[in-house]
Amino acid sequence: MHILVTGCNGQLGRALKERLGPDGADWVDLEDLDISDAASVDAWFATHGPYEVVYNCAAFTNVDGCEANFPAAFAANALGPMNLARACASCDATLVHISTDYVFPGNEPGERVETDVPAPISAYGRSKLAGEGLALAANPRTHVVRTAWLYGEGKNFVRTMLSLADRFDEVTVVDDQLGNPTSATDLACELVRIAATDEFGIWHCTNEGTCSWADLAEVSFELAGVSCSVKRCSSSDWKRMHPESADRPAFSSLRNAKLEATIGNGMRPWREALADYLG
């Protein structure tokens, strides 16, 4: 099978390389292919294609950075997926596009399912929602896979907390934003399963269970055997301390409803996956 993976140097791209093998796909990142440039995407496909499956892991994921530079966020997170979807449609390829829980406003407790109405409250969320719609419209063979709170090989919240714990006895972490910590390794395995189906459309795919950022920090310290305490704060407190930060949804926990109804939900409880990651 001829496969393309964009954003190959990110956490999910690296997890897919571990899953598929270094020779299992064409691996590209921004220095190889700028997906926001339609001509470059078309030229890449003409030279290296046709493909059967394309995994789009490329994105502008700096939430605060997206707030400061929406044109760049829209180019990467909306125009990029559209360009890939159009190129995929030209060769009947399946596109697996990664999206986010931040497409939801987070104003209602509980888990969001795929049919819930999105209404993002940040520039990052708006750019990602636009990318979902543009990709689905450009190629009927598109899987949009929303995930959340990803950690893997590279910079992520868990590693940031452990790094802070090396320098401080206490860290301040928001405790009123709830979501699903998700292992990039587990997500990569599910993406391969999703790519093999014809159940095109929107999927949710996170590890099972909900916690706050403060909970995640505490459990990370516990599992890593680190002595550091967590000072819990509210989102409004954090905003006063960091007025430049983007708003985040309070309740963005996802339910893997489509997985449950189709190929089966293979995602583990989040604590189990995190223990493996830190083991």
User: Sign of the C-alpha dihedral, residues 263, 269, 272, 274?
Assistant: positive
| Residue 52 within any structural domain of the chain | yes
DSSP string, the chain: --EEEESTTSHHHHHHHHHH-TTSSEEE-TTT--TT-HHHHHHHHHHH---SEEEE------HHHHHH-HHHHHIIIIIHHHHHHHHHHHTT-EEEEEEEGGGS---SSS-B-TTSPP---SHHHHHHHHHHHHHHHH-SSEEEEEE-SEESSSS-HHHHHHHHHTT-SEEEEE-S-EE--EEHHHHHHHHHHHHTS---EEEE---B--EEHHHHHHHHHHHHT---EEEEE-HHHHHHH-TTSPP--SB--B--HHHHHTT---PPBHHHHHHHHH-
pLDDT, position 235: 95
Rounded to an integer, the average pLDDT of 30-37 is 98
**Strand pairing category for 178-179 and 211-212:** antiparallel
Distance CA 67, CA 71 (A): 10
Distance CA 148, CA 99 (A): 9
pLDDT, position 158: 98
**Residue 134 binned pLDDT confidence (cut-offs 50, 70, 90):** very high
Minimum mean pLDDT range among 151-160, 175-184, 243-252: 243-252
pLDDT, position 267: 98
Q: What is the set of active-site residues?
A: 124
| Residue 275 within any structural domain of the chain | no
Share of the chain above pLDDT 70, in %: 100
CATH number at residue 132: 3.40.50.720
Structural domains in the chain (count): 1
**Residue 228 binned pLDDT confidence (cut-offs 50, 70, 90):** very high
Rounded to an integer, the average pLDDT of 10-35 is 97
| Residue 258 within any structural domain of the chain | yes
pLDDT, position 271: 98
pLDDT, position 155: 93
pLDDT, position 258: 98
| Residue 232 within any structural domain of the chain | no
**Residue 191 binned pLDDT confidence (cut-offs 50, 70, 90):** very high
pLDDT, position 55: 98
| Residue 236 within any structural domain of the chain | no
pLDDT, position 260: 98
Rounded to an integer, the average pLDDT of 38-46 is 98
Rounded to an integer, the average pLDDT of 194-205 is 98
Rounded to an integer, the average pLDDT of 107-133 is 97
Mean pLDDT across the chain:
97
Rounded to an integer, the average pLDDT of 86-114 is 97
User: Sign of the C-alpha dihedral, residues 251, 252, 256, 258?
Assistant: positive
| Residue 132 within any structural domain of the chain | yes
Largest interatomic CA distance in the chain: 55
**Residue 72 binned pLDDT confidence (cut-offs 50, 70, 90):** very high
**Residue 164 binned pLDDT confidence (cut-offs 50, 70, 90):** very high
Distance CA 207, CA 273 (A): 8
Domain residue limits at 60? 3-156+181-208+253-268
User: Sign of the C-alpha dihedral, residues 51, 54, 60, 66?
Assistant: positive
Share of the chain above pLDDT 90, in %: 97
pLDDT, position 8: 98
pLDDT, position 163: 97
Distance CA 89, CA 242 (A): 43
Q: Which of 47, 13, 45, 41 is nearest to 29 (CA)?
A: 13
210, 179 contact by CB (below 8 A) = yes
Distance CA 124, CA 108 (A): 20
| Residue 163 within any structural domain of the chain | no
Q: Rounded to a whole number, what is the distance in angstroms from the first to the last CA of the chain?
A: 34
pLDDT, position 85: 98
Rounded to an integer, the average pLDDT of 127-150 is 98
Residue 271: φ, ψ to 5°: -65, -40
Rounded to an integer, the average pLDDT of 118-125 is 97
pLDDT, position 66: 96
| Residue 190 within any structural domain of the chain | yes
Burial 251-272 (b: 16+ CB within 10 A, else e): bbbbbbbbbeeeeebebbebbe
